[in-house]
A = this chain, B = another copy of it.
């Protein structure tokens, strides 16, 4: 809830560091003392520290006294934690949508996202697919119009972002995932909350298991 838009140094530091972590430019395990980071960002330690506190809350870094900032790794158990929470929240949010029938065209963002997933799948463009997938999930939770829920869920997305990116090309073509999204969307359109919840839940559980299996297979024990 801080104003992320104001052009303050704290915000710049936060945005830059977050982007570097999500993109793996600052890989898990990386650590550096505050003065180094501050210099690299061209600012003093004061705003940097404030940004770091926010990143720590986001579960992206750890502030170890005397050892500086450490980018947190994600172990399979961490992944399980995140997906267990998402498996409880997302299906509920989706089911909720199935009740609130708004004006027609209301679900356009979701339809577009699923459409883009299908198109990307057809075109074998995995990056576009991942982006559309991400959009689907983010749009959906935002439609819940529950600000707290949105913040929690997007925070969790961030935490598993690296793992998703790294495993994107290690999995089979996401044919089933794409179909499942379409089914969830249809369920919402049809106003079937219980069906939607069940479908989404199954989707989450399946994708979580899939991702964990890949991590195990490739011995990617920390991301």
Contact = CB atoms under 8 A, between A and B. Distances in A.
Contacts of A84: 92, 96, 144, 146, 149
A47 to B, nearest CB: 10
B82 A148 contact: yes
Interface in A55-85: 56-57, 59, 62-63, 65, 78, 81-82, 84-85
Interface residues of A, number: 32
A152 B53 contact: no
B81 A146 contact: yes
Contact of A53 (B2, B87, B146): B2
A49 interface: yes
A89 interface: yes
Nearest to A91: B88
A49 B96 CA distance: 38
Number of copies: 2
B148 A56 contact: no
A85 B152 contact: yes
Contacts of A134: none
Nearest to A144: B84
B2 A63 contact: yes
A148 B54 contact: no
Contact of A59 (B49, B87, B148, B156): B148
Interface string A88-101: 11001000100000
Contacts of A123: none
A146 B85 contact: yes
Closest 9 interchain pairs by CB? A88-B92, A57-B57, A81-B148, A81-B146, A88-B88, A53-B53, A88-B89, A85-B149, A50-B53
21 contacts: A1-B56, A1-B59, A6-B65, A46-B46, A49-B50, A50-B50, A50-B53, A53-B53, A54-B57, A57-B57, A59-B148, A81-B146, A81-B149, A84-B146, A84-B149, A87-B92, A88-B88, A88-B89, A88-B92, A89-B89, A152-B152
